[in-house]
Amino acid sequence: MTEQAQKYVGGGVPRKEDPALVTGRATWTDNIKLPGMLHFAVLRSPIAHGKIKSIDASAALEMEGVHAVFTGEDLNGEMAAPLPCAWPVTPDMKHPAHYPLAADEVKHLGDGVAVVVADDRYIAKDALEFIDVDYEELPVVTNIEEALKDGSPLVHEEFGTNECYTWPMPVGDVDAAFEKADVVVKTRYIQQRLLPNPIEPRAVVVAPDPVNGGFTVYSSSQVPHILKSALSGICGVPEQKMRVIAPDVGGGFGQKLNVYAEEALGVILARKLGVPVKWVEERSESYLSSIHGRDQIQDLELAATSEGKILGLKVKLTADMGAYLQVFTPGIPLFGAFVFPGVYDFEAYTFECTGVFTNKTPTDAYRGAGRPEAAYGIERLIDELAREVGKDPAEVRRINFYEPFDEPTTTPAGIQYDSFNLQAAMDRLLELSDYESLREEQRRRRESGDPVQLGLGFSTYTEVSGLAPSQVLASLNAGGAGWEAATVRMLPSGKAEVVTGTSPHGQGHVTSWSQLAADALGISPDDVEVIHGDTATAPLGRDTYGSRSAPVGGVAVHLAAGKVVEKAKKIAAHMLEAAEGDIEFEGGRFSVAGSPDQGVTIQEVAGEAFLGVNLPEGMEPNLTADSSFDPPNFTFPFGAHLCVVEVDTETCRVKVRDYYAVDDCGPVINPIIADGQIHGGIAQGLAQALYEEAIYDEDGNLVTGSMMDYLVPGAPELPNYTLDRTVTPSPSNPLGVKGIGEAGTIGSPPAAINAIVDALSEYGIRHIDMPASPMRVFQAIQEAKGRS
């Protein structure tokens, strides 16, 4: 490929997306109003488990403005297939049929029971109140350990058990390592359940196409391409007649990486009624009907020498699936299996995960999806180990880091990390934070009996990003099709269009892909239009999740643009009557080597390619090229974080005073965007560490059912971040880029908890569960005082 100097990639090009977003000119799904459109609302179960004995909708049907009420019994027969789970992790995994509306039995609070279609959403909502459902309540199970006990209430009676699957990772025997160990740290950590909170809750509009008999689905989704295939299967609509458009999407964080009941209901209702229909989720409804994150128990054992050198790791997870399996539910904890050993070089590792059904909303991918859980496990263990062997946690990390490498290196989990240099990241972090003087301040405060203690918490994490390699995904029974597609075309005027299969919902792909195309083509990013999120205009795509877009989709843009330049070079040679080998390309201009005055711009070539008059013999007109990039491996970003907390031992409040992060995602396409991703990610990780927890009571009621009770931190609760980066290119793709969209969320929870435990270690406190609320800190201090 013809490469030229990078002018825009790596520079802080301001986000093209922002003017529309900050001036209220974005188009959200809820802004879409179609002629004749009706609105639907879903009646949701007020109990966690029960048989539906009868549904009487007569009063609702009599209300003015109500067009129809349907139940599961009315609609399920119209589905060609239930809602999909795309990752059957074991051959004998239990997979309950999951229809958009429960027909016989509700399995969790908020399970859909009936749908009202009305003139507007307010009438539809009001009408829900007039539907009378008679339930026979059944016993409920919400606790995963209870759910596995004999005699537990069963979520799905037909399976005779609540165990969905047990997945043992086929890796080595660790017993020998544990026999050699001087120190074994054995512990249990809890990953509390989290509720994702994108600013825009979900929304869907479905319009039947009276001409071709198909449907256009507008959805606030991260995955229009996946949704198109899935909806066509669920609703029995030929795939080529299904078009999905993701308009502006106000965040997703993994929650919108799914195929939801309401999307299928929209298609079925639009087909039945022959008019467009709309559904918009409310926040408290979202807390019940959209997937939740995390929720697992981690039983861990780490074996090491008295010097703190790790010898082996045993991981046993018990993970809450909730009541049904959504698209990736069973696979989420398994993502963690591959990176649980973290950035540490040792051999012996076992991992087993048991997935469990409970009467709760299903879990699925929430930013990081399995990897924050894993990083938390290993990073907390390392701090516990450091304390056992009496060394500084920075030192114990260092003696276990992989030596720097830039070629794939096999890990105890049986995968290959692509490139690491933790030493450089750690060196920079210690320098950036002035670690020694922080320790000095800590000593001073301890000695003076200051009620406000200082805590320092490290996290040196890695993660698997760039979800792609089709063959690897297939080997994990996760389907394949991990590639990403792009088309780059020059228009007659010399401007360019980039068509991408990624589907941004806050990550700034329009800007980033413009930079990539601009550099390759030698034009301005302002002359590049990025087309995305519509399966009619961007027909090939695998969408946005798993921090895959830059290392897979961005690379596809780069490769397609390179192909355009290759073709343009042939045309330029023809126009300049020179040999192709003599043509040089710099700054968007082709010239003849040794005769720089003789040249044509890429815009002139584009015009010529369009006219098709003066082209090399046999060459097709137009300057356009496609690429479908399927990398050989994932990418493995890594980083070193340090969280500095002040813990007030009298009020038990934790203040995150400073947060230092040195992340490495290879070369950065856009530093402003990458920093923004890290900021948002750290904020979400600190939210898990300190504030957020979805709590169910024993009857299956979501106690934290609104923002009044579910504490999402805002800017005042969060510190200023001090960021820097190291650059270790990935050998998995020609740009060397690794993903950055989840890194902050993965690195920060263990850093924060390590810092709090560090602050309180003088009391003999060894662990505090997340979220480390003032009450938990208070209890930990009281218990520690009771012990002493």
Interface stretch with ligand MCN, choices 52-60, 75-83, 331-339, 671-679 (CB under 6 A): 671-679
Q: Which residues contact 234 (CB under 8 A, 6 or more apart)?
A: 79, 80, 81, 82, 83, 84, 259, 264, 267
383, HSE (Cβ side, Cα atoms, 13 Å): 27
In the numeric block, which tokens belong to residue 283? 């926040």
Nearer to ligand MCN, 350 or 421 (CB): 421
Q: Determine which helix (DSSP H) or strand (DSSP E) holds 663, and give its type and residue range.
A: strand 654-664
Interface stretch with ligand MCN, choices 150-158, 351-359, 539-547, 566-574 (CB under 6 A): 539-547
Nearer to ligand MCN, 467 or 600 (CB): 467
- Give the x/- contact pattern for ligand MCN in 171-210, rule: CB under 6 A: ---------------------------x------------
Residue with tokens 């004995």: 53
Interface stretch with ligand MCN, choices 212-220, 413-421, 456-464, 505-513 (CB under 6 A): 505-513
Nearer to ligand MCN, 218 or 545 (CB): 545
Q: Work out the burial of residue 61: count CB atoms within 10 Å of its CB; fewer than 13 is exposed, 13-18 middle, 19 or more buried.
A: middle
Nearer to ligand MCN, 541 or 546 (CB): 546
> Among residues 512, 624, 704, 748, which is the contact residue for ligand MCN, using CB under 6 A?
512
Q: What span, in angstroms and rounded, lies between the C-alpha atoms of 126 and 115? A: 12
Residue from 242, 193, 241, 200 nearest 220 by CA? 200
In the numeric block, which tokens belong to residue 461? 């994490």
Nearer to ligand MCN, 359 or 730 (CB): 730
Cis status, amide bond into 139, omega within 30 of 0: no
Residue numbers 393-432 binding ligand MCN by CB under 6 A: none
Decide: is 75 part of the binding site for ligand MCN (CB under 6 A).
no
Decide: is 599 part of the binding site for ligand MCN (CB under 6 A).
no
Interface stretch with ligand MCN, choices 273-281, 299-307, 430-438, 543-551 (CB under 6 A): 543-551
Is residue 253 within 8 Å of 223, Cβ to Cβ? no
> Among residues 201, 680, 685, 731, which is the contact residue for ligand MCN, using CB under 6 A?
680
Chain centroid offset of residue 554 CA: 17
Interface stretch with ligand MCN, choices 32-40, 186-194, 240-248, 547-555 (CB under 6 A): 547-555
What amino acid occupies position 398? R
> Among residues 216, 549, 624, 704, which is the contact residue for ligand MCN, using CB under 6 A?
549
Cβ-based neighbour number of residue 566 at 10 Å: 14
In the numeric block, which tokens belong to residue 501? 């299969």
* Total binding residues toward ligand MCN, as defined by CB under 6 A: 35
Interface stretch with ligand MCN, choices 80-88, 106-114, 538-546, 639-647 (CB under 6 A): 538-546
Minimum CB separation from ligand MCN for residue 23, in Å?
18
Decide: is 254 part of the binding site for ligand MCN (CB under 6 A).
yes
Is residue 454 within 8 Å of 539, Cβ to Cβ? no
Nearer to ligand MCN, 198 or 533 (CB): 198
Decide: is 260 part of the binding site for ligand MCN (CB under 6 A).
no
Nearer to ligand MCN, 18 or 179 (CB): 18
Interface stretch with ligand MCN, choices 51-59, 444-452, 732-740, 752-760 (CB under 6 A): 732-740
Decide: is 669 part of the binding site for ligand MCN (CB under 6 A).
yes
Task: Report DSSP letters for 695-747, one per residue.
Answer: -B-TTS-BTT-STTTS----GGGS--EEEEE-----TTSTT-----TTHHHHH
Nearer to ligand MCN, 50 or 368 (CB): 368
Decide: is 384 part of the binding site for ligand MCN (CB under 6 A).
no
Cβ-based neighbour number of residue 738 at 10 Å: 32
Residue from 339, 336, 338 nearest 191 by CA? 336
Decide: is 252 part of the binding site for ligand MCN (CB under 6 A).
yes
Interface stretch with ligand MCN, choices 37-45, 252-260, 586-594, 761-769 (CB under 6 A): 252-260
Decide: is 548 part of the binding site for ligand MCN (CB under 6 A).
yes
> Among residues 107, 193, 509, 574, which is the contact residue for ligand MCN, using CB under 6 A?
509
Minimum CB separation from ligand MCN for residue 544, in Å?
5
Q: Which residues contact 150 (CB under 8 A, 6 or more apart)?
A: none
Q: If you ran DSSP here, which 8-state letter would residue 30 be given?
A: G
Can you give 420-482 as a three-state secondary structure string? ECHHHHHHHHHHHHCHHHHHHHHHHHHHCCCCEEEEEEEEEEECCECCCCHHHHHHCCCCCCC
Decide: is 740 part of the binding site for ligand MCN (CB under 6 A).
yes
E strand segments, 242-328: 242-245, 277-280, 293-304, 310-322
Nearer to ligand MCN, 205 or 674 (CB): 674
Q: Which residues contact 499 (CB under 8 A, 6 or more apart)?
A: 486, 487, 488, 489, 531, 532, 537, 538
Residues binding ligand MCN (CB under 6 A): 198, 251-254, 367, 505-509, 512, 544-550, 554, 665-666, 668-670, 673-674, 677, 680, 737-742
